[in-house]
Structure 1
Amino acid sequence: MANRELSPSSAKLRLLKSAVLLLPLMSCAAIAADKPSQEYKPFRLSVAQISTQSAEVANGNTELQRDSLLLSAGMNVPLNQQWSLGFRVGYDRLDYDWRNITLTGANNVAPLFGTDGQNWDHINRYRAGVSLNYRMDKHWAFFLAPQIQYAYADTASASEAQSYDIVASAMYAFDSGNMIGFGVAYLNDIDEVRTVPYLAMRWQIDEHWALANPFQAGFSGPAGLELSYRFNSDWNVGFGSSRRTERFLIEDDGTVVETNEWVSYLRGGWQATPALTVNLYAGYYFDGELEVTDQAALEMDSQGAAALDIEFKF
């Protein structure tokens, strides 16, 4: 069925999906600690544009086409040889272009538009966080990061859309340079609280091949794995599959929509200058659904997507 009740197993799976969204927080900090310091650049600015094809929702006439603009800025300040402090802020604009909306009949999408059926077209998402990193020795690094976020549609208020999380983790670096990490995420979301363990990794197979969690801001999302090949210091490609989850408030009465989907993608990366990195993605979303406040799950057809991710360090 296109519109179905959520099962207990689906709820448990969602907890795991939410936790893996936090993987880059630990992994990137530990990897950065291993990089040479002679060209250290503490500030980062990034912008990503994501676009999808139209997809049918609930196997009916309703179609959805999405465009997203993701902006983020951050800095990392070394306090001494062992401690560093990080700051980050971000804003995302998620545009939802609904077409042929069907609110009645067997394949209706009425749960997505709340009690009054009011249409929403875009989501604002603001986020800010700090991180504290401790490098104990050449092998062990520890990480603590609280973050606050507001994610709400144009039919809801920011004051009702607050959520926050705290991530505590440890990363172990082998003599070979390969890394594996473990952590716990406490997530206080808009309408639920959960605590979930997670795993992160980066494994350098040889001088060209590497297997790791995706870290870029493009549509791949952080959850999953990417196999990458580096041709030289300027060019690399990657192929991976990952899980995307986005959660936001659509009504001030606590009605929340969560999108869940898998994506397989091909990525091309270019290190244009020591300060400028460009990644271009082509991918395919599948097994997607939109969940509404733990009550209904509406299926979303597969669709193609493309993304451009640009990062500037200084």
Structure 2
Amino acid sequence: MQRGPQVGWSSFIRGGGVYQFDTDLDDGGNFDATRATIQAGHGYAWDDRTSVSLALGYSYDGYSFSGDTGIAAIAPWENINTFSLSLPMRWGIGDNWSAFLIPSIRSTGESSANFDDTITGGGFIGAAYRFGERLTIGPGIGVVSQLEDNATIFPILIIDWKITDRLSLDTGRGLGATLGPGLALNYRANQSWNFAFGGRYEKLRFRLDKNGVVPNGIGEDKTFPVYAGCTYYISPKTNVSLIAGVELGGELKLEDRDGNRLRKEAYDPGGFLGITFSMRL
């Protein structure tokens, strides 16, 4: 679980970019993906356990397909845009309990998709108990509506465990528009450098162009990335990170406008490389 924000008003901005290298599809052909995200927020903290903020975000996922068979042959989507609005809230309950609630709404689709058909919403809720200076842990749940499908419901482990003075385990943060739980193991070498190894479940589901190969259809990219990264702290409030990893268990899905499956295709493990930054003002 992340440390509480500074007391009073504060702002943040964070973002980054990731390139997924050419990845082979099971039915032939391949694809690569370029991903970028930016998020900014402003909020108020009454103390280190009680705060509320408003966050706006934009993410881009660009796909390039190549091949003569399977999904690659029809290249069903290209540029996916996600706009998001969320209202993170957290508060203390008694001396040791903390709770959080993050309602959100987002639009995810290609640029020519009908905007009304790109909207989904949901939220995350959970609570954690502080066992001492070194361990805070508890359960959470995420519920997010899906385009032409049942809502996705998934458990979340909220954890901030300082295993030693340098080694810690916490709830990992994803990049961009994807959703899903994760964990990250961190090693703080000194005040300037942190090294991490993590993994998480990711799912990106989006509306296709109204004039595309499958008009107003649905695309989906589901995977489990594992990664290693190093973070340099320019100051206590500003850092940049380099990350590298591999997408495991990847699967692309193509559906018609009503959510009926047209194609489903797994893809091989695909490497990725990226850079991220975070700044608190």
- Which TM-score bucket, shorter chain as reference? 0.7 to 0.9
Q: CA deviation at 1:259?
A: 0.8
Structure 1 counterpart of 2:142: 185
Q: Is residue 2:23 matched to residue 1:55?
A: yes
Hey, what's the Cα distance between the residues in 2 that align with 1:130 and 1:284?
31
Structure 1 counterpart of 2:4: 32
Hey, what's the Cα distance between the residues in 1 that align with 2:252 and 2:278?
30
Candidates 136, 140, 152, aligned match of 2:109: 152
Cα root mean square deviation, aligned: 2.7
Give the counterpart letter for 2:146 in structure 1.
D
Structure 1 counterpart of 2:70: 108
- The structure carrying a bigger strand percent of its residues is 2
Hey, what's the Cα distance between the residues in 2 that align with 1:112 and 1:291?
13
Hey, what's the Cα distance between the residues in 2 that align with 1:220 and 1:264?
14
Q: Is residue 2:202 matched to residue 1:234?
A: no
Hey, what's the Cα distance between the residues in 2 that align with 1:74 and 1:254?
32
Q: Is residue 2:36 matched to residue 1:74?
A: no
Structure 1 counterpart of 2:89: 132
Which residues of structure 2 form unaligned runs of 5+? none
Q: What does the per-residue CA deviation read over 1:253-310, in whole Å, with 9 as the maximum and x for residues that have no partner? A: 6622211112221100111112311110011122211123462321112221101001
Q: CA deviation at 1:248?
A: 0.8
Candidates 298, 305, 314, aligned match of 2:265: 298
Q: What are the within-5 Å matches in structure 2 for residues 208-287 of structure 1?
A: 208-215=166-173, 217=175, 223-251=181-209, 255-287=217-249
8 Å CA contact retained: 1:284, 1:303: yes
Hey, what's the Cα distance between the residues in 1 that align with 2:107 and 2:234?
34
8 Å CA contact retained: 1:248, 1:256: yes
Q: CA deviation at 1:185?
A: 2.6
Q: CA deviation at 1:92?
A: 0.6
8 Å CA contact retained: 2:36, 2:176: no
Structure 2 counterpart of 1:19: none
Q: What does the per-residue CA deviation read over 1:127-169, in whole Å, with 9 as the maximum and x for residues that have no partner? A: 0011232212331112222100000023522221000002222
Structure 2 counterpart of 1:21: none
Report 1 or 2 for greater relative contact order, CA contacts < 8 Å, sequence distance ≥ 6: 1
Q: 1:251 to 1:147 in 2, by over 3 A?
A: same
Q: 1:280 to 1:217 in 2, by over 3 A?
A: same
Q: CA deviation at 1:89?
A: 0.7
- The structure carrying a bigger helix percent of its residues is 1
Hey, what's the Cα distance between the residues in 2 that align with 1:198 and 1:213?
8
Give the secondary-structure state (helix, strand or coil) at the position aligned to 2:40: strand
Q: What are the within-5 Å matches in structure 2 for residues 39-50 of structure 1?
A: 42-50=10-18
Hey, what's the Cα distance between the residues in 2 that align with 1:205 and 1:220?
29
Please give the TM-score of this superposition, normalised by the length of structure 2. 0.86
8 Å CA contact retained: 1:220, 1:265: no
Hey, what's the Cα distance between the residues in 2 that align with 1:197 and 1:254?
31
Q: CA deviation at 1:231?
A: 0.8
8 Å CA contact retained: 1:277, 1:310: yes
Q: 1:80 to 1:268 in 2, by over 3 A?
A: closer
- Which piece of structure 1 moves more, 233-242 or 120-129? 233-242
8 Å CA contact retained: 2:64, 2:78: yes
Structure 1 counterpart of 2:53: 86
8 Å CA contact retained: 1:50, 1:219: no
Hey, what's the Cα distance between the residues in 1 that align with 2:230 and 2:15?
16
Structure 2 counterpart of 1:173: 130
Q: CA deviation at 1:196?
A: 4.2
8 Å CA contact retained: 2:157, 2:181: no
Give the secondary-structure state (helix, strand or coil) at the position aligned to 1:53: strand
